[in-house]
Every structure is written in structure tokens, then in C-alpha cells.
Chains A and B, each alone.
Chain A
């Protein structure tokens, strides 16, 4: 344990980053207008590791918003050109909710037919997580038994926890431990540091509301209340913009399209993020649409994550990051809808 855990004083973070930048592409949250945005760091650029949430989760480094799967050219036969993949990337400052979401992604993009594009990036990605000490009123990771403001041995290569003037850094893999091998840069972890970490996480835990009680009974609870009035009420407010799914760390749906050039012999096959909230998502040949009603679409997202996901993937499809509520312009919050069904007083 000792060998794989070190202390990095905040005054030395810049030096550590510069060393990382020599070897890797480093992406980290930087301040945007209102929130934060995972951005590739240029030399000298300062990341912000003390943040609440980014609009788009780090999933974009594994499953980009838009990606060319291959380009093709008609010659005598057909030539296809696969895209080149990026070099080794350190994604720095991943919150536990987003790191857990990547574990869920691993299941979704794994299985019998692994997605080669995803796995190529995944194997090239080093996840440096950071315990979350900045939760806000939309966070509800504590609802899930395996979630909360830090990670336990799984889902990261290196885990940072902010202790005020220093970070404690714990390696979760060989690749992670390679990031903390620079002699002279790090200090030894003391008992006082371990105690400070425990205290910081206890405080963070107290700041996260649970919001969804009885997770085990949730699929049955949702099935029982499929026709509850609250869904129609929320659907009336919904503009079907798709922000809840685009910002969700576990949403993975994409649309595929061939874009051809004017010479009619070259083109690209592209996949682009799609959203079940959009009307055309469930439309098939001849205009049939499985989820024509807004209410059906609104419910689908919630029911898929919390009721159907366990059967499909063996886990829940939510990590309580709170983005769907936070980025909804119409103030729709599924945890509040469920509280309303339970007849609880509604917190704003």
C-alpha cells in the first residue's frame, strides 16, 4: 500500500503536470462560463480539480460526440480506411460518479461483440480519479450502495483526494503507479493524512442527499407506477431537447450515417450521439414510431436506467451524478418525480 500511495503538495502539482505532459495527452476539467469542461491541456494551462461537475462527462474521450468509423473510396473494388487513434491519454480529475459510469460503459461496449473503437480508446486511457468533495443539491450518488464520493479499489488507475494543501494519491493499477514514480516530487503518506482523508469524505457524504431510498425495490416500484400522473405532468413541461441524455455519463446511444462527397465515389461512415428523447429516435421504416408520445420518451430514459438496465447489463444505469436534473431547462428531476409518487413532500 505504502509504495502505491504518495502525497503530492499542491505547490508541486504544476511540476507533476509538466512531467505528465511530456509523455501523455492530458485532459482535465477547466473553468467554462458557468461550469467546467474537460479539455486537453496545453502546456501552462491550469486544470481545475476542485469542481462540481462538467457539462459533458469524460465519456466523450471513450465514445466521442461524433466519430468517423471509416472512410471509403470506390476504385475498382472498394477501399476502406480506418481512422488512426490517439496516443495514450490521461484523463485527470474524473469524479467517482463518472468513473463508475465508465465501468458501466465497459459492460455496455463489451460483451460478446466488443466495440473496437471504444476499446481501442479505453486501453489508451489512464483514469486519474479524484474523490468528490464538492457535491451540490443535484447530486445523489449516496442513493447507490456502491457509490458515494470516493472509489474503493476499482475503476481508476490513480485516485486523488484533496486534503487542503496536498493530495493523497493512491494507485489502482500498474499504469497508475507509473505516474507517481518521480523521485523527489512526492512525500510519504502519514497517519495524519489518512485520517484527514477519512474526515474529508465523511463531510462530503453528509452533503449528498440520498434522494432514492430502497434501490433494490426500485424496478418493481417503477413498474407499479408506470401510469402515474406525475409522468404526464412532467412530459407537459419537457421540450425533448435531449440535454438529459447528452450530459448523462452512462447514455451511449448513437446514430450512424454515411456522408458521401460530391464526386460520388468517396465518403465517410460517421457515428453521432443520439438521444431517446428525440422524436425520430424510435422511428423505423414506413414512419412507425415506438415512442411517439413525449411521455413515453421521458419515461423511457428513467425506466431504462433504473428498471430495465439490471436485466440488460447486470448493473444500474445511473451513478447519481445529477446532470439530468442540473441541465434540464424545464427543471425536470426524476428523483423529485419519484418522491412525488411516494407521496413525500417535494424538496425543490
Chain B
């Protein structure tokens, strides 16, 4: 069998997720023994024409130009993987969704008239069919490996579908909500990150999007009990994954 051809694309994003490919470091040469990189601008100047077997797409879609490109990428790739929070949920790019576009654009650019952008940013599945999701800001390297290796050997990848809290407790962390009344979204956020933020004493911002069967209304009640102002709770829900139904439900429960 020929080695599968891989393409890595980038839309509105910081490039941190594709960097995780390169961060594999010690195992990178092993990986290159089993895949062929056809298109990956951050890693190589080599560019081969489509079709590709697997396309990893980083970044959200925020403008007409990106919508065109992401649709072309879908046509060019047999399998499409949303790589990281921007591609999966839109991430912080969706913050503009809750503000007047002119106001947002003129805050950043001296000549807003040159900017052609949508009112709202979205993850790529708003525009195309996605076959697999790798969540996180950035994606977790072990999950990246698990996905690629599982595809190569034909096994279902183990990507934690449940809350960050499971790994947080496994790491023996005292709950930040209980000890510091923190605005921690771990209980509604998908794990797989090894609870990296909470283990280092920072509350979860929900960058990995909702876990399966999350209960955002219950978490809002907990935040209210702890005396957090409603607008702060709402802002926290809209921060990274506000463009998902679950986190929006959380934001809407802040009344």
C-alpha cells in the first residue's frame, strides 16, 4: 500500500495546532515512515497537487475567501480532520460574533474598509462535512498521535468524550470550584488534555468544546451559588466555545 498523502491547511488561527505535528519530535521520523506529506506550508516548501488522503484543517472560517478554500479542501481530501479549537468550534475567533462587526474591525485595523469578513466566525463544520475532530487550543500531541496511528492501523481512536474533571481528579487536583470558587468550565468541557490547565492551578476555559451530555445549566447554578456576577459567567461560557449549542445554553442560563 502506498503511504497516505497528508495535507495540512491553515485558516484563521495562530498555527499552534499544526506546530504540534512538528512537536512530535522524537517520533517524527517514525511517522514519516508511514505517511507522505504532500502539503504542509509550515513544515515544508514542497507542494504536491491534490488529491490527498487525509486533510488536517486548522483554523476557523471568518471570510468568503476562506469559505471557498475550505470547500475546495473538502473536495481534495478523502478524509477531513478538524485540527484544534478554531477548526472545531471557532475558538476565540467567534468572540466577534457577539459584537457589532464595524466596531470590532475598527478596533483592530486602521483602514477597516480593506477588510472583507463575515459578521460571524465559525468552525469548519459550519461549511463542510468533517470526518474527525481533534479538540483543544492547541491539540494534545498524544491525541494527535492516537488519531493518526489509529487511522493507519484501522482501530477506533481513544479520544476522551467526557469532562475534563475525570482527568483532573486522576491527577489528584483539589477542585478549583470548591477550593477557590473559580469559574472553571472543566465539568462541561471535553477532556483529553490531561487537565493541563487545572493541574497547573488555572481554571478551565472550555477550549476543547463541550463534552458529551454536558449539563451547563447545573454548572451555572453552581457559579451563581458561589456569587459570581451573571455577566462574568456568561463571558466565560462565550470565551472559547460560545459558538456551540451547549456553551450557548450556559450563556443563556445566566439570567
Cβ B215 vs Cβ A294 within 8 A: yes
Which of A35, A238, A262 is B30 in contact with, Cβ under 8 Å? A262
**A333 contacts the other chain (Cβ, under 8 Å)?**
no
Closest partner residue, chain B, to A267 (CB atom): B149
Identify which of residues 27-50 in chain B touch chain A, using a CB-to-CB cut-off of 8 Å: 27-28, 30-31, 33-34
**Which residues of B are found within 8 Å of A259, using beta-carbon distances?**
142, 146, 158
Cβ B162 vs Cβ A279 within 8 A: yes
State the majority secondary structure of interface residues on A: loop
Cβ A55 vs Cβ B34 within 8 A: no
Chain A interface, number of residues (Cβ within 8 angstroms) = 37
Cβ A275 vs Cβ B179 within 8 A: no
Identify which of residues 82-131 in chain B touch chain A, using a CB-to-CB cut-off of 8 Å: none
Q: Give CA–CA (A236, B253) in the complex, Å.
A: 14
Q: A261-B149, A280-B212, A294-B213 are in contact. Are A272 and B170 (CB under 8 A)?
A: yes
**B163 contacts the other chain (Cβ, under 8 Å)?**
yes
Interface stretch, picked from A41-49, A219-227, A242-250, A303-311, is A242-250
**Which residues of B are found within 8 Å of A86, using beta-carbon distances?**
none
Q: Give CA–CA (A264, B145) in the complex, Å.
A: 11
B182 to chain A, nearest CB (A): 10
Q: A238-B218, A239-B187, A263-B30 are in contact. Are A55 and B172 (CB under 8 A)?
A: yes
Cβ B163 vs Cβ A278 within 8 A: yes
**A194 contacts the other chain (Cβ, under 8 Å)?**
no
Closest partner residue, chain B, to A56 (CB atom): B172
Identify which of residues 176-232 in chain B touch chain A, using a CB-to-CB cut-off of 8 Å: 177-179, 186-188, 211-215, 217-219, 221-222
**Which residues of B are found within 8 Å of A238, using beta-carbon distances?**
215, 218
**Which residues of A are found within 8 Å of B254, using beta-carbon distances?**
none
Cβ B149 vs Cβ A264 within 8 A: yes
**Which residues of A are found within 8 Å of B171, using beta-carbon distances?**
65
**Which residues of B are found within 8 Å of A237, using beta-carbon distances?**
218, 221
Q: A34-B179, A236-B218 are in contact. Are A279 and B174 (CB under 8 A)?
A: no
Cβ B177 vs Cβ A329 within 8 A: yes
**B15 contacts the other chain (Cβ, under 8 Å)?**
no
**A123 contacts the other chain (Cβ, under 8 Å)?**
no
**A33 contacts the other chain (Cβ, under 8 Å)?**
yes
**B24 contacts the other chain (Cβ, under 8 Å)?**
yes
Q: A279-B161, A327-B178 are in contact. Are A242 and B218 (CB under 8 A)?
A: no
Q: A241-B165, A264-B149 are in contact. Are A330 and B222 (CB under 8 A)?
A: yes
Cβ A243 vs Cβ B165 within 8 A: yes
Cβ A279 vs Cβ B212 within 8 A: yes
**A100 contacts the other chain (Cβ, under 8 Å)?**
no
Cβ A278 vs Cβ B218 within 8 A: no
Q: A262-B31, A272-B170 are in contact. Are A278 and B188 (CB under 8 A)?
A: no
Cβ B166 vs Cβ A262 within 8 A: no
Which of A33, A242, A257, A280 is B169 in contact with, Cβ under 8 Å? A242
Q: Give CA–CA (A66, B160) in the complex, Å.
A: 14
Closest partner residue, chain A, to B149 (CB atom): A260
**A273 contacts the other chain (Cβ, under 8 Å)?**
yes
Which of B152, B170, B212, B217 is A264 in contact with, Cβ under 8 Å? B152
Cβ B27 vs Cβ A239 within 8 A: no
Cβ B170 vs Cβ A261 within 8 A: no
B250 to chain A, nearest CB (A): 11
Q: Give CA–CA (A262, B34) in the complex, Å.
A: 8
Q: Give CA–CA (A327, B187) in the complex, Å.
A: 13
**Which residues of A are found within 8 Å of B217, using beta-carbon distances?**
236
Cβ B174 vs Cβ A34 within 8 A: yes
**B153 contacts the other chain (Cβ, under 8 Å)?**
yes
Q: Give CA–CA (A330, B211) in the complex, Å.
A: 18
Which of B145, B161, B172 is A280 in contact with, Cβ under 8 Å? B161
**A32 contacts the other chain (Cβ, under 8 Å)?**
yes
Q: A243-B169, A264-B34 are in contact. Are A329 and B161 (CB under 8 A)?
A: no
**A258 contacts the other chain (Cβ, under 8 Å)?**
yes
Q: Give CA–CA (A239, B217) in the complex, Å.
A: 9
Q: A259-B146, A262-B27, A264-B149 are in contact. Are A278 and B219 (CB under 8 A)?
A: no
B217 to chain A, nearest CB (A): 8
**A138 contacts the other chain (Cβ, under 8 Å)?**
no
Cβ A264 vs Cβ B163 within 8 A: no
Closest partner residue, chain A, to B225 (CB atom): A331
**Which residues of B are found within 8 Å of A294, using beta-carbon distances?**
213, 215
Q: A33-B174, A34-B178, A240-B213 are in contact. Are A246 and B30 (CB under 8 A)?
A: no
**Which residues of A are found within 8 Å of B24, using beta-carbon distances?**
262
**Which residues of A are found within 8 Å of B63, using beta-carbon distances?**
none
Q: Give CA–CA (A299, B46) in the complex, Å.
A: 57
**A59 contacts the other chain (Cβ, under 8 Å)?**
no
**A301 contacts the other chain (Cβ, under 8 Å)?**
no
**Which residues of B are found within 8 Å of A279, using beta-carbon distances?**
161-162, 211-213
B211 to chain A, nearest CB (A): 8
Q: Give CA–CA (A55, B34) in the complex, Å.
A: 44
- Residues of B bordering A, CB below 8 Å: 24, 27-28, 30-31, 33-34, 142, 145-146, 148-150, 152-153, 155, 158, 161-163, 165-166, 169-175, 177-179, 186-188, 211-215, 217-219, 221-222
A-B contact pairs, 22 of them (CB 8 A): A34-B179, A35-B174, A55-B174, A66-B170, A239-B218, A240-B214, A241-B187, A242-B162, A243-B175, A259-B142, A259-B146, A260-B155, A261-B145, A261-B149, A262-B34, A262-B145, A262-B148, A263-B27, A263-B33, A280-B162, A329-B178, A330-B222
**Complex A-B, nearest 5 residue pairs according to Cβ-Cβ distance, in ascending order:** A241-B165, A246-B169, A262-B30, A239-B187, A278-B162
